[in-house]
Structure 1
Amino acid sequence: MKYAIVEISGRQFWIETGKYYDLNRIPTELEKEIILNRVLLANNDGEILIGKPYLDSVKVKGKILEHLRGRKTIVYKMRPKKKTRKKQGHRQDLTRVLIEEIKIN
């Protein structure tokens, strides 16, 4: 099984080929190829490579499928005994990326 742990926009993801992941918004066009080069760990059928902090020999190739918005999160603030209430909603902008290949040199 081939997988990699990649850092994207300040978060770490366990990535496998053929699957798609929802990441924070990446400002590029649809159907465009992207290269993820901040690979922290890679597993090539039992051979584990660990970076210090990143692996220079491993690249992850993906394709942007769509831009979407996440589920709504409700933010509710209330001050007791003051009759002050504030209700807000937030939807995060996301990008869906299909992982096509994990290339280990």
Structure 2
Amino acid sequence: MFAVIQTGGKQYTVAAGDVVTIEKLALEAGATVSFDNVLLLSKGAAGVEVGAPVVAGATVAGEVVEQTRGKKVIAFKKRRRQNSKRKRGHRQELTVVRITDILVGGKALPRPVKAEKAPKAAAPAAAE
């Protein structure tokens, strides 16, 4: 099961247990967050529900892991033969969020069960 959410002007594909880095939210680490702009919802074998523009009654719940900053970006502009240049730096403020549940109508979607691998059979004993 997965969902496509929109936050900070960007879209993210998320599933339960994922850790995503999004635009800064004004929340402390450990706080819970709810994303209501669910654009698409995949229910596994039950099919896919596409919103117009959002899926009604669907929310994605998460927990803020930490507040961080992105990689430094340098904007350097030079005008040749003009003795003119400009250097500016920028670091984007980011929030790391762990997705806990995908909720539809207040109920969590069932998580897929991973099939366990069967133990390998022992090699037959050599006949004498």
Q: Name the TM-score class by shorter chain.
A: over 0.9
**Matched length:** 104
Which deviates the most, 77-86 or 36-45?
77-86
The one-letter code of the counterpart of 2:64 is I
Which residue of structure 2 aligns with residue 17 of structure 1? 16
Question: Contact 1:64–1:95 (CA<8 Å) still a contact in 2?
Answer: yes
Alpha-carbon separation, structure 2, partners of 1:40 and 1:23: 16
- Which of structures 1 and 2 has the larger relative contact order (alpha carbons within 8 angstroms, sep 6+)? 1
What is the identity percentage for the equivalent residue pairs of Structure 1 and Structure 2? 28
TM-score calculated relative to the size of structure 1: 0.94
Which residue of structure 2 aligns with residue 83 of structure 1? 83
Which residue of structure 2 aligns with residue 94 of structure 1? 94
Q: Which runs of 5+ in 2 are unaligned?
A: 106-128
Which residue of structure 1 aligns with residue 5 of structure 2? 6
Offset, 1:61:
0.3
Higher CA-based Rg: 2
Which residue of structure 2 aligns with residue 53 of structure 1? 53
TM-score calculated relative to the size of structure 2: 0.78
Q: Which runs of 5+ in 1 are unaligned?
A: none
